Structure 1
Amino acid sequence: MRIQHKPLLIAGALALTLAASGCTTVDTPSAAGGPSDQASPVAAALTVNVEARALVPAKILDAGELKIASDPTYPPFEYFDTDNKTMIGWDVDMGNAIAAVLGLKAVHVPATFDTILPGLTSHKYDLGMSAFSVTPERAKAVDFVPYLDSGTGLAITPGNPHKLAMDSSSLCGYGVAAQKGSTQSMDVLPKLSKGCTDAGKKAINIQNFPTQTDANLALTSGRVNAVMADSVSLAYQGKLAEGRFELADGPDYEPQLTGTALDKGSDLLPAIQAATKLVAESPAMAQINARWGMPASTAITVDKIVMK
């Protein structure tokens, strides 16, 4: 998703894989849901920072809002609440917090993952917050403001019957799913599959799906042997799916920064950098992480928020 990264569960047939987790439950969300601008309790406790607000372009100030695009199929980062139209999750809370510091209203717009970055360059959205991995290729088209550090994980059915792990020798010849447009689908899986063929083994049977939900359903229905996505999301999604899949043992694969995406050269970049720093240095960051079960290992130092 994203990177790597990116989880989730949803609609129709997928309703069978969803279950209550923590203080929220996931039902049968639909990507057709409308924009959500519901503020989180965390954001409500933040105050406007005058210096950061002064960096906001006049056009955004006049509109009074930030249009934030996310793919709501990726818990715990973003997914639909039980009303099937209100987006909730880590990215939603973080977006609300950033907007609050700037004295703006966050308007969360559902979008399919692979359309978000093009939507930024066409100025359809102001920000993309959907567990985007910060990669050199993506950085050619958009600017990033990092906020987490995470890596790719592998989801398998309980007990890991095929003994799969995040390395090419383990995955050769097996079916592995990923979300279309994710780092896993474009970079990680092709790289690992090449390792297989270079060693004279069968290539990985890579299967890309429109949403993370579809990829997860392919695993739980037996159509693939594993799913690759952000390790944090996969672990969370496995719990939501009542243990129908779980994260394979082992370290994350090639941890990368994850962050907010903006159109290349956007005048909004300095304001988002400033606001992200302020949130990261405030108690709000710990509250958001705790609310969505984000492990301490994902934290980044404030100096990484402004990319060189």
Structure 2
Amino acid sequence: MSRSVLITSAAVAIVLGLAGCSSSGASAGSSDNTSSASGDLPDVSSAIKEVKVDKTLAASIPQAIKQDGTLTVGSYLYYPPSIFLAKDGKTVVGNDNDLLQALGRKLDLKIKYQNMDFSALITSLKSQRIEVVMSAMSDTTERQKTVDFVDYLDSGIAIVVQKGNPPGITGPKDLCGKSVAVNTGTSQQLYAKQRSKECVADGQKALKVTVTDNAANNQTMLRTGRINALLTDLPTAGYMAATVENGKAFEVVKTDVINRDPYGIAVNKGNPELRDALAKALDELIKDGTYAQILKAWGVQNGAVKSAAINGAD
């Protein structure tokens, strides 16, 4: 997540209220505890339990972490579907959490969370209060100046339409003249403004853009046909399409991700052993299918990467 993405309490509430399977998760501040309090959420615990320790990779972990047996992870636990708290207010769930649990099993490490403001994550990493950051954090060239990233998911802007795609939108070129909604202060708002100017410059109609600070209202407008499309980030778009009305309300337009924005696990530059172990463990999860199962369960498979990349942002 870049700070250009606005996360509101309404967005959290609607995603929590619209999920549709059952799940287990880790308790905040602990490792892989399970709890029925995580409610009706995707459950990939059986796949995670099948992950085997790679003894070679586990041995390559820095000695201090290996002795402790715990990876301390900094995260902002309010960003569904990537990582957030279940209805009990303490159980950590989300595709980032599930992937972390699988990585932990591969490296023979328990996961311990430190919940903090997003703006404090890199500072806490550099001061060694935490050992990694995993919080839907965008790998950017600016952030690469101070930390390294293991990229695990492609994000960016996605176009969401009603199920069946009644406006016939196949990509950005079809947005000209269409009514779209975006959240205020987001990269989607900036993109809609830019795309509208391009449409006019090409002799087409401008976008009709509705800007709100309420993700729930945007979804309602799309569901009732008051707008043609909703612009949001890719993981949220996939999760909406998979969960709202049991997947019968929305779909994500199948097109290239707009303004690609990879998410990465942040690691201190002075810790290449941990960085490389995480990258290799991720590659193993990709090869054995665990990674794909996790992403599909949370509806974010459109952002799947083929292999782990270190500092892969353009």
> How far did residue 270 of structure 1 move?
1.9
Q: Does 1:232 align with 2:235?
A: yes
1:223-276 Cα offsets, whole Å, 9 max, x none, are xx8865422322313654548985664623133433212233434212212222
Of structures 1 and 2, the larger Rg is shown by 2
1:72-119 Cα offsets, whole Å, 9 max, x none, are 333332222232210112111111111111111011333343433333
Alignment CA distance shift 1:141-1:250 (3 Å)? same
1:41-91 Cα offsets, whole Å, 9 max, x none, are 433222221221222112212322112233333333222223221011211
> How far did residue 159 of structure 1 move?
10
Q: Could you tell me the percent identity over the aligned residues?
A: 24
- Report which structure shows greater RCO (CA 8 Å, sep ≥6): 1
CA distance, structure 2, for counterparts of residue 276 and residue 16 of structure 1: 27
Q: Does 1:277 align with 2:278?
A: no
CA distance, structure 2, for counterparts of residue 7 and residue 238 of structure 1: 18
CA distance, structure 1, for counterparts of residue 97 and residue 192 of structure 2: 32
How large is the RMSD of aligned CA atoms in angstroms? 4.4
Give the corresponding residue for 2:305. 300
Alignment of 1:115-264 (within 5 A): 115-154=120-159, 170=176, 176-177=182-183, 185=186, 189-190=189-190, 193=193, 215-217=214-216, 219=218, 228-237=231-240, 240=243, 242=245, 246=250, 249=253, 251=255, 252-264=257-269
Please list every run of 5 or more consecutive structure 2 residues that lacks an aligned counterpart in the other structure. 34-44, 222-226
> How far did residue 207 of structure 1 move?
7.2
- Count, aligned residues: 287
Task: Check whether the contact 1:102–1:275 (CA below 8 A) recurs between aligned residues.
Answer: yes
Amino acid at match of 1:237: M
Alignment CA distance shift 1:289-1:244 (3 Å)? closer
Please list every run of 5 or more consecutive structure 1 residues that lacks an aligned counterpart in the other structure. 26-32, 210-214
Give the corresponding residue for 1:37. 31
Taking structure 2 as the reference length, what is the TM-score of the superposition? Answer: 0.68
1:260-306 Cα offsets, whole Å, 9 max, x none, are 122334342122122222222223223323432333x433222x434
CA distance, structure 2, for counterparts of residue 52 and residue 68 of structure 1: 19
Taking structure 1 as the reference length, what is the TM-score of the superposition? Answer: 0.70
